[in-house]
Structure formats: structure tokens, C-alpha cells
Amino acid sequence: MPAQIGSAAPVRAGRSTEVQGWSKPAASKATGEPLVPDLLLCLDWHLEGPPDLEREVLGDAYWLEVFRWTERDRVPADRLAEARGLLCNYAVRVTGELLDRMPRLRVVTRCGVGYDNIDVEAAGRRGIAVLNVPDYGTMDIADHAIALALSFLRGIPLYTTTLHEDPVGNWKFAAAPTVRRLSTLTFAVVGLGRIGMAAALRAKALGMRVVFFDPYKPTGTELALGIERRERLDELLAEADVVSIHTPLTDETRGLIGAAALAVIKPGAILINTARGPIVDLEAVHAALLDGRLAAAGLDVLPEEPPSPDHPLIAAWRAPGSPLRHRLILTPHAAWYTPSGVADVRRKSAAATRAFLETGRSRDLVNAAWLDAAAAAARAGRGSPA
């Protein structure tokens, strides 16, 4: 039976006597008494069907109710007030106002890597821990970044679309201007976190010279990886044939790749972004593609998702006969996606939430700098701050 998500009968995880609805929790095997599991919520459930994988991890001690993000404003106030954990994807904004409606909440788990949709400082002040799942999509996103680069470097978008139009007249191997020998290229990584490092190692394995810019990585990182470090972003951009973005979205990185950065980029460079859309200024990318400063751009993330068809870059790319047609690749925030990756993040998110509720600790705590220990202890002990 399809899950009724976000209705009066949200799907609950945690073994129960019914598959869905306000079902009765299973009885304790030890005493026969009904269990009273802690309530967990997900306000932006985006999958079909019930949270069965989460159920396997959470067991009888926790009860997960999931709502579609389009229905998040209909979540009953009593469910918000009772919840001990909140699992969220990317659609819901976890603000101080929302957190104030959740007086028993102990932990927010971002079911993914980036947590720019969560006010981590506001959560910390209220004694609420914020966790992420930093490892689930590392390989997939790095693979996607390399695939976008290789698509251009081997001319695949142009070859396949022109041959589709005319398989005889367009049988021209020299028609793709972005094709280059990999061993002659410099692959530049902006942000050498887990994903950036994975992308760097893949590019190195393909024979490219790899450089990176990340002012927060310790000295000697480059020696351990066998790649080169650049101290300034403009220095890196000036020598890069491919620039791959892997930074988190912060006040420092918002708009990092804009008109000023693209003015100093090596002419004919290829730009790849699989990180966060607002890091890259689309208007500046549009201008750089038109004037030839950028040879091509592969974008998995955009400032607005999905994009407006009327955005100047999108409209120009889609126009008949557009010179951008084979020089821009868009994918729908899909770099993280594989069926295995979905299963990983679901299990890991549930496991991280459960582990924190049971131990009060996590390696993946992202708001330690703001976490009020007294408020956190009060929430853990009595269910609401003093």
C-alpha cells in the first residue's frame, strides 16, 4: 500500500502492529508492556514508500514519522513538541523559529553533507546538536565531477547531439573544440575536503597534474597526496585547465566564483561545480562562456533549483542554434545519487541519530562551537530546557 506521507496518517518507522497510520508500538519482549519509543520526525521526506531502511536501524526504541516537504507546515504541533530527533534533507529550513516549536528536541541530523539549510548557531544556543553524514556520497560526487570534465575533454556532448541530427554530414572527429589530452592538463580543486580529495586523486590517476586551493588544510597535505598547493585562488585559476569546485557554502564561499575570479581564469578553462549552486555566479559564467574565457561549464548545482527557464543563461543555452548548446552541461543535483548512495545515507542518518540519542556523542557534530552544554544536558535529562 502506498505510504500516506504528510497526511493525517504519517508513516512511522519503528516496529509496530500496523504498516502505517497511528499504529500501536510493539510490546516489550522482556515485560510484555507496550513500549513508549522516542519520536523522531522528518519534515522533507522525498522518497516513495515508507522509511523501511530507517526502521531496520532504529528498532523499537524510536518512532519515525515522515512528511513530504510540501506538507511540512501541516505537521501537528503536538508532534513537533514531542520530537526528540529531526532528520532533514535539503528542502526544509531549520530555523530558530522552528526549533522553538520543538522543546524536547535533542538532535538535528542532516541526511547529507552540506548543512547550509540549518541554523547551526541557533540550534547550539538551544542545546540542540546538529550532525551531518559526511561520507555517504564522497565517491559518487567525485565520480560525477570527473565525468562532467571528461564529457567535455572527450567531446561527448557535441559528438552525440550532432550525429543524432546528421550521422553522415556530422561524422567529423575534429568538430569538438574542447577535446584535449589529459596528460597535458592541470586539474584544479577548490576545497580539498573528502570529496575534493577524492576528485583530486581521480584526476591524478588519469594523468593530470593536480593543484588545489584550500587555506584551511594543514601544511604538508600536498606532500601526502602527491599534488601541488596554491596559496591564492587567483594563482590557481590562472593555471587551471579544469576547475572543480568542492567547498561548502558559507558566507566566505558564496559567490566565490564570480566575475572577478573568471576574469583571471586561464582562457579556455572548463568549470565544474558539484558543491553548492550559490558558490558560482551564473551571470558571470554566462558572460565568460560568451566571450570565450570559459570553454565549457558542467553544473550539477544551481543557485535556484530547479532553475527558471527564463534565467538568461538557461534561456540562451536552450535557444535554437545556441553557441552554448554543447558547452554547458546541467545535471539535476544528481552528483550524489546512486541507489547504493540513497541506501547509505538513509541508514547512516538513522544510525547517527540513534547513536547520539543514546550516547550524547558524535564524530560528526558540526555545531560544537555553539553548543550550550547546560541546555543540552537539560534536554537530555528532563526533555526540555530549564
Active site residue ranges: 276, 305, 333
Residue with cell 560544537: 368
* Listed residue (145, 137, 143) closest to 190, CA to CA: 145
Measured CA to CA, the distance from residue 76 to residue 8 in angstroms comes to: 9
Say if residues 195 and 142 touch (Cβ distance below 8 Å). Answer: yes
Say if residues 145 and 272 touch (Cβ distance below 8 Å). Answer: yes
Measured CA to CA, the distance from residue 247 to residue 211 in angstroms comes to: 15
* Listed residue (262, 202, 237, 245) closest to 114, CA to CA: 245
- The sign of the CA dihedral 285, 289, 295, 299 is positive
Run of H or E residues at 13: strand 11-13
Say if residues 339 and 91 touch (Cβ distance below 8 Å). Answer: no
Long-range pairs for 335-338 at CB < 8 Å and ≥24 separation? 335/137, 335/140, 335/141, 335/144, 335/145, 335/274, 335/300, 335/301, 336/112, 336/136, 336/137, 336/140, 336/141, 336/144, 337/140, 338/140
